[in-house]
Amino acid sequence: MELKDSILSRFMKYVKFSTASDEGSSTCPSSKGQLALGRELAKDLRAVGLKKVAIDKNGYVTAELPATAKGPVLAFLAHMDTAPDASGENVKPQLHRNYRGGKIVISAKQGVAISPADSHGLGDCVGHDILTASGDTLLGADNKAGLAIIMGAMEHLARHPEMPHGVIKVAFTPDEEIGRGVDLFNVKKFGAKYAYTVDGDVVGTVEDETFNADGLKITVQGKSVHPGSAKNSMANAVRIAADIMASFPENMLPETTENREGFVMFTSCESSIEKAELDGIVREHDLQKLKRLERLLKAVVAEKRLKYPLAKISLEFREQYRNMRQMLDKQPRVMERLYAALEAEGVAPIHKPVRGGTDGARLSFMGLPCPNIFTGGNNFHGRHEWVSVQGMEKSARVLIKLAQLWAK
């Protein structure tokens, strides 16, 4: 099979596995579907000729392509889970061949469609074959496109031993979407020196900079009193929690920020009169600005403690990940080789900061420098998700070229 057809075939198979991660689960992986997909991936890796294929009890799939030349040990990674933000059950992929521009109707019945006006990068895909779901679910290109791309590249290299490359490691990880992707990953045992995640969006996108990220939790301990006699004696945790959320500046929310602008986002609120718990996230590319946002949150909470003296209000932050740029700047060859591979494949690089995080951010701080490469799609995590087949093929060709460049 040609590279493009191989990638398409694998992608169509992988998206039919239901693999949404579950933040409420304490297991790894957090959902059984990821284990099922992991076993299928391990089988496919063996079939294309990779060695040392393994899937451990935590769902991590690893393999190795033996070297045909000298070079440092290189690795490519993608994650198996899909975001729990939208349903990933019974995904029915649709292939829209030879896109002519304009609107693509995903579901007329549900009024789900995409167009260049609301889908960044779609307008650059005229003539491409575009994959979407059916309007009921997300597609799962984040990150099953990455899985298919890496599988296609490895199959191509295995079938062409005349192409020079060093040892290439592959890893497919669970639970990236809930921030646990490499919690139990053994970087030392894996044995790679340099790595790339394949988890980006439109063709050409390369990412070596992420947010600095902390989680936040605010707990309000209220006081329940019969409302008929509540004056000066009730502390309604529901109302206090709502007041806290409403007090944060609107120009510091994800809905009102872009590029390198940071934000605070409240992600859940469970409340009753006696107790409320707010969970959220704080994001900033500059670590000092992150701390400034957190000081502002502390000031909001301090003000509410004065306003509601009958309540007990606590605030805590939990470090999640840090901007990988500070680590990748110490290993300039990683990006130099990536830019050279893009140029060799005729791809114009689009360098942008990630308004989020990747497994690569964590791995870079664990000693494995790991920027991110495009998959060829966009609108991830929802029913408007799409990916270009030609974009996936181009990503695979960049990986193949990277393998050769590191062997020189």
Q: Give me 125's structure tokens.
A: 């895909």
CATH code assigned at 187: 3.40.630.10
Whether the predicted pLDDT of 408 surpasses 80: no
Q: Two tokens at 21?
A: 């991660």
Which of 273, 290, 321 is a domain's end point? 321
Angle at 378 between CA 372 and CA 383, to 5 degrees: 135
User: What is the structure's pLDDT at 83?
Assistant: 95
pLDDT at residue 352 in the model: 85
Q: Where are the beta strands (DSSP E) in 346-385?
A: 350-351, 372-373, 377-378
Joined together, the tokens standing for residue 275 give 């107790």
In contact, 349 and 402? CB cutoff 8 Å: no
Phi/psi of residue 293, nearest 5 degrees = -60, -40
- C-alpha–C-alpha distance, residues 257 and 260, integer Å: 8
User: pLDDT of 361-396, one tens digit each?
Assistant: 999 999 999 999 999 999 999 999 999 999 999 999
Mean pLDDT, residues 299-326: 96
Q: Do 175 and 259 lie in a common domain?
A: no
Looking at the fold, whether 227 and 361 belong to one and the same domain comes out as no
Q: Where is the domain boundary, 321, 353, 371?
A: 321
Average pLDDT over the chain, rounded to an integer: 96
Catalytic residue among 64, 81, 155, 208: 81
Residues 149 and 9 in one domain: yes
Q: Which of 40, 129, 176, 214 is catalytic?
A: 176
- The answer to whether residues 305 and 183 belong to one domain is no
What's residue 79's pLDDT?
98
57 shares a domain with 44: yes
Q: Are residues 241 and 274 in the same domain?
A: yes
Please tell me the least confidently modeled range out of 159-168, 315-324, 329-338.
315-324
Do residues 13 and 87 share a domain? yes
Give yes or no: 81 in active site: yes
Distance CA 122, CA 146 (A): 18
Please identify, among 302, 321, 340, the residue that sits at the C-terminal boundary of a domain.
Answer: 321
Q: What is the pLDDT of residue 287?
A: 95
Confidence of residue 355 (pLDDT cuts 50, 70, 90): confident
- pLDDT at residue 1, as a whole number: 59
Q: How many domains, in total, are found in the chain?
A: 2
CATH number at residue 262: 3.30.70.360
Amino acid at 259: N
For residue range 204-257, list pLDDT tens digits in order.
Answer: 999 999 999 999 999 999 999 999 999 999 999 999 999 999 999 999 999 999
Question: Is 176 designated active site?
Answer: yes
Q: Are residues 169 and 288 in the same domain?
A: no
Residue 357: pLDDT band by 50, 70, 90 thresholds? confident
Mean pLDDT of 9-37: 96
Query: pLDDT tens-digit profile of 197-219?
Result: 999 999 999 999 999 999 999 99
Res. 51 pLDDT band, cuts 50 70 90: very high
Distance CA 302, CA 281 (A): 19
* Alpha carbon distance 28, 34 (integer Å): 9
What is d(CA 233, CA 62) in angstroms, rounded to the nearest whole number? 60
Whether residues 94 and 197 share a domain: the answer is yes
Helix axes 141-159, 3-14, angle to 10 degrees: 140
pLDDT reading at 157 higher than 90 = yes
Domain that holds residue 311: 212-321
For residues 327 and 317, membership in a common domain is answered with: no
Q: Same structural domain for residues 180 and 161?
A: yes
Q: What is the pTM of this model?
A: 0.89
Same domain for 164 and 227, yes or no, is no
